Amino acid sequence: MATMKSVQTGAPGQIELVEVERPHPGPKDVLVRVRACGICGTDVTFLHMGGMPARAHLGGELVPVALGHEPAGEIVEIGAEVTDLKAGDRVVVNPQDAPTGIIGCGGRYGGVSEYLLIENAVAGKSVAVFPDTVPFDVASLNEPMAVALHCVNRSGAQPSEQVVIFGAGPIGLGAAIWLKLRGVAHVVVVDVLPDRLETALAVGADAVINSAEEDVAARLTELHGRSANALGQPRPGTDVYIDAAGAPAVFHTVVGAARWGARLVMVAVQKKGAEIDLGGMLRSELTLIASQGYPTEIFEVTPQLIEHHERFARLISHRVPFAEAGRAFGLALTPGAAEKVVVTFDA
């Protein structure tokens, strides 16, 4: 029996590197040799918990999670009935298309493994092919960049509008790139870490604000001009606010700063519930828009990721070999230690 190594959750805050049977593709499947897989905040959540509930709605006991839902790799085996893919194709993966459960999020398989079975493999549905001009580590950004694009699509941001993004992690920075690629007039990124703000400028943000040192509303007024809420009280002229941070302070800041008719898009997972000033929302007729996942965007992003791969590559702060997976997840678990960690596999 051929085996492979795979990463799953262990005790809370720890991973386990396990030896498992290497999958064998059926007639409709392909086997991918994983070459890179990004680590996401969802992985960190599973690590903190030490797994996930077997029956979430019943509060069941925790079961291990095979980690990794941002893989890129090369097809090495192909089922007899697969006609639109071939061995040697370099592919990114739609983790939500797996019939045995979302890859890396409670499904049978995880992307931080030496090999990954793609069940019912169909080009453009379960995988997308990319050229060898794009490094595997950058290709692994395909999934989080789909999350970022869906957020931008939900915002409805127009070229003439002015946008501010809270949180210069991968999703926030990805949103900044997508906004600028579609010609949005002015994009500001807010964070408390200077290195992340430097990266935001490097990927195309028009301005940045360090919210630990600056008054966000005052600075936005300087950048986006003066407007007002429904009562005529002065407010920045910002049209769209994007919360890619997930901190209660963001909601308080936005509600206190929003002009009449502004929009707030919530893409970050909220770490704690926040009391929202509904009266403040009313005074601005602030529209709250939730953005979850990527209903259509998973492979819509791929052509532009290919075209602008050098720009997207700036989002990766750490590339860590699979042999040092413990260090990779340790970086991801440590607040402020890394922007985007990608686990890489030897050729």
pLDDT single digits (tens) 154-188: 999 999 999 999 999 999 999 999 999 999 999 99
* pLDDT at position 68 over 60: yes
| Token pair in block for residue 149 | 């694009």
Q: Which of 10-14, 44-48, 58-62, 95-99 shows the lowest per-residue confidence on average (mean pLDDT)? A: 58-62
Q: Are 22 and 61 in contact (CB under 8 A)?
A: no
Higher pLDDT, residue 55 or 54: 54
* pLDDT at position 58 over 80: no
* pLDDT at position 53 over 90: no
| pLDDT attached to residue 242 | 98
pLDDT single digits (tens) 309-319: 999 999 999 99
The long-range contacts involving 296-299, CB below 8 angstroms and separated by at least 24 positions, are 296/150, 297/146, 297/147, 297/149, 297/150, 297/153, 298/94, 298/96, 298/128, 298/142, 298/143, 298/146, 299/92, 299/94, 299/124, 299/128, 299/142, 299/146
Q: Are 91 and 305 in contact (CB under 8 A)?
A: no
| pLDDT attached to residue 60 | 66
Q: What is the mean pLDDT of residues 45-65?
A: 81
Q: For the chain, how many residues are written?
A: 347
Per DSSP, the three-state class of 172 is helix
Q: What angle do CA 325, 327, 328 make, to 5 degrees?
A: 60
Q: Which of 48-52, 56-60, 86-90, 188-192 shows the lowest per-residue confidence on average (mean pLDDT)? A: 56-60
Higher pLDDT, residue 55 or 281: 281
pLDDT single digits (tens) 183-202: 999 999 999 999 999 999 99
* pLDDT at position 25 over 90: yes
β-pairing, 234-236 vs 226-228, is: antiparallel
pLDDT single digits (tens) 237-296: 999 999 999 988 999 999 999 999 999 999 998 877 668 889 999 999 999 999 999 999
* pLDDT at position 57 over 60: no
What is the distance between the alpha carbons of residues 58 and 67, in angstroms, rounded to a whole number? 23
* DSSP category for residue 56: G
Q: Are 4 and 114 in contact (CB under 8 A)?
A: yes
Close Cβ partners of 119 (under 8 Å, ≥ 6 residues apart): 26, 28, 29, 98, 99, 100, 126
pTM of the model: 0.95
What is the distance between the alpha carbons of residues 84 and 334, in angstroms, rounded to a whole number? 42
Phi-psi map region of 126: left, alpha, beta (phi>0 left; psi -120 to 50 alpha): alpha
